[in-house]
């Protein structure tokens, strides 16, 4: 096997090991994918300042995110269907995050349930909530997240309806309902994936199955979600959620200064500057391009996190320099998971940590608290 040196290597391996319809599901963005591409390419437009002959000893990447100690400011983002990249994917990723010392966020749309993840972890994880029309179901999720001792609720605000991913439709992932011969072929040529999948009974949406009516498979989930995502969702509902939850609240999917100001008013603990990894509004700015403006507007009132396009430790450091208190990775850990299971998620975290540490040192800094705009040589945003 070729050496795994960077996140791109995990992506190459995941492409070889995960059936095409699920690899494409993770790897694609909405419509023309212009925002998905911008998330990555805008990081490359930021140039760092090389500093020399400063004491680079005794470095640490440790910091906090919403008051929780983290080994580095990189949480695993909530991603739906993670258990389809690898059998028991959410449980494996949560364990890898716990061992590494960073937060894991479980999606409402996960394959493994809140209870599954709680059963294999001791560190409290974060739970991501989609506010469905069925508010009883929302309450059910909140109560289960409390019972599992989740330490933060991540409320996703940028998915009141679904942006279209062409690849999912071409792969017949979204609809129609049945497993086609093409799907079966795609799975049959990935024997390792099939073997692992046969070892688990977790192959459905276990946060929803048995808790929401008539959701039994991928397709019924799709039609259920299409009608359950609430187009009327508003800031008033955020207040309601905050009250029901009563714990730390992170609002995810903020890309505009005005929305950031609204979010800060709700008394949430943090916002995530995010465009859902380029999966929703195609044509929107990249997250990193919007980060400095949002930090300037609300950074003194609320913790600002960001995600979208992070593929290296250098990217994380650039986000921190531009004012993010923390970041999240989605695809990098999914590639790791698809490539090598839990070991691959650990590998993704190790790669990013190592890159971040060396980059911080070469910028002349020894700890994250000292990383600020002074390490940026050029930034177009
Ligand atoms: C396959 C996939 C599924 C996702 N599912 C969810 C989800 O269920 N809830 C959510 O809030 N965000 C979801 N996201 C968005 C991620 O939380 C995150 O914002 C995004 O992946 C960050 O971009 P990156 O993948 O470039 O790191 C998903 C992203 C991907 C790639």
CB of 83 shorter than 6 A to ligand 1 = no
- Among the atoms of ligand 1, which is closest to the Cα of residue 154? 11
148 in any annotated domain: no
Compute, in angstroms, the gap from residue 24 CA to the centroid of ligand 1. 13
143 in any annotated domain: no
249 in any annotated domain: no
Q: Give the pLDDT confidence of 114-129 residue by residue, as tens digits.
A: 999 999 999 999 999 9
232 in any annotated domain: no
140 in any annotated domain: no
Q: Where are the alpha helices (DSSP H) in 246-309?
A: 257-265, 287-298
CB of 80 shorter than 6 A to ligand 1 = yes
CB of 314 shorter than 6 A to ligand 1 = no
| Contact present, 263 and 254 (Cβ < 8 Å) | yes
- pLDDT bin (cut points 50, 70, 90) of residue 204 is confident
Query: Which 3 state secondary structure label does DSSP give 270?
Result: strand
Q: Give the pLDDT confidence of 302-357 residue by residue, as tens digits.
A: 999 999 999 999 999 999 999 999 999 999 999 999 999 999 999 999 999 999 99
- Which of 80, 110, 131, 174 for a ligand 1 pocket mutation test, highest count of atoms within 8 Å of Cβ? 80
Compute, in angstroms, the gap from residue 330 CA to the centroid of ligand 1. 5
Q: 52 φ, ψ to 5°?
A: -130, 165
The total domain count for the chain is 1
* C-alpha torsion angle, residues 24, 25, 31, 37 (rounded to 10): -70
- pLDDT bin (cut points 50, 70, 90) of residue 213 is confident
Q: Is the pLDDT of residue 174 over 80?
A: no
Compute, in angstroms, the gap from residue 53 CA to the centroid of ligand 1. 40
Q: Give the pLDDT confidence of 82-92 residue by residue, as tens digits.
A: 999 999 999 99
CB of 79 shorter than 6 A to ligand 1 = yes
Q: Residue 202's closest CA among 103, 91, 286, 306?
A: 91
- Residue 178 lies in domain: 7-119+169-225+256-378
Compute, in angstroms, the gap from residue 28 CA to the centroid of ligand 1. 11
* Contacts of the segment 69-72: beta carbons below 8 A, 24+ positions apart: 69/101, 70/101, 70/102, 70/103, 70/326, 71/100, 71/101, 71/102, 71/353, 72/101, 72/102, 72/316, 72/349, 72/352, 72/353, 72/356
Q: Is the pLDDT of residue 10 over 60?
A: yes
- pLDDT bin (cut points 50, 70, 90) of residue 12 is very high
304 in any annotated domain: yes
- Report, as an integer, the average pLDDT of 268-287: 98
The model's pTM is 0.96
* C-alpha torsion angle, residues 28, 33, 36, 42 (rounded to 10): 150
Mean pLDDT across the chain, nearest whole number? 95
Q: How much of the chain exceeds pLDDT 90, in percent?
A: 88
- pLDDT bin (cut points 50, 70, 90) of residue 235 is very high
Q: What is the CATH number of the domain that holds 87?
A: 3.20.20.70
pLDDT attached to residue 210: 81
70 in any annotated domain: yes
* Tokens at 344, concatenated: 């691959």
251 in any annotated domain: no
């Amino acid at each position: 096997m070729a050496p795994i040196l960077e996140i791109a290597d995990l992506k190459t391996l995941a492409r070889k090991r995960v059936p095409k319809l699920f690899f494409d599901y993770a790897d694609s963005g909405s419509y023309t994918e212009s925002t998905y591409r911008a998330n990555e390419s805008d990081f490359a437009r930021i140039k760092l300042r090389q500093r020399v002959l400063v004491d680079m000893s005794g470095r640490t990447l440790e910091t906090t995110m919403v008051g929780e100690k983290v080994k580095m400011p990189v949480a695993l983002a909530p991603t739906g269907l993670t258990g389809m990249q690898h059998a028991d994917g959410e449980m494996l990723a949560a364990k890898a995050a716990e061992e590494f010392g960073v937060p894991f966020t479980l999606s409402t749309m996960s394959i493994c349930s809140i209870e599954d993840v709680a059963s294999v972890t001791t560190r409290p994880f974060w739970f991501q909530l989609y506010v469905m029309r069925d508010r009883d179901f929302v309450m059910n999720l909140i109560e289960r997240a409390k019972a599992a001792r989740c330490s933060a609720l991540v409320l996703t605000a940028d998915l009141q309806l679904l942006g279209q991913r062409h690849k999912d439709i071409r792969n017949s992932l979204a609809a129609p309902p049945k497993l086609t011969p093409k799907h079966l072929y795609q799975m049959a040529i990935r024997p390792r994936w099939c073997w692992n999948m046969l070892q688990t009974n977790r192959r459905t949406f276990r946060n929803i199955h048995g808790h929401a009516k008539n959701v039994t498979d991928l397709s019924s989930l799709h039609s259920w979600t299409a009608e359950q995502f609430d187009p009327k969702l508003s800031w008033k509902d955020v207040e309601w959620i905050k009250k029901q939850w009563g714990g730390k609240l992170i609002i995810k999917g903020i890309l505009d200064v005005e929305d950031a100001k609204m979010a800060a008013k709700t008394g949430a603990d943090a916002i995530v500057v995010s465009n859902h990894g380029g999966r929703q509004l195609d044509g929107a700015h990249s997250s990193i391009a919007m980060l400095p403006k949002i930090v300037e507007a609300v950074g003194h009132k609320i913790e600002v996190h960001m995600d979208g396009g992070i593929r290296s430790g250098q990217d994380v450091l650039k986000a921190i320099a531009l004012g993010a208190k923390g970041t999240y990775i989605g695809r990098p850990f999914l590639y790791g998971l698809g490539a090598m299971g839990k070991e691959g998620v650990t590998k993704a975290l190790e790669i990013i940590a190592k890159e971040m540490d060396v980059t911080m040192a070469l910028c002349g800094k020894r700890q994250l608290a000292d990383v600020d705009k002074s390490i940026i040589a050029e930034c177009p945003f």
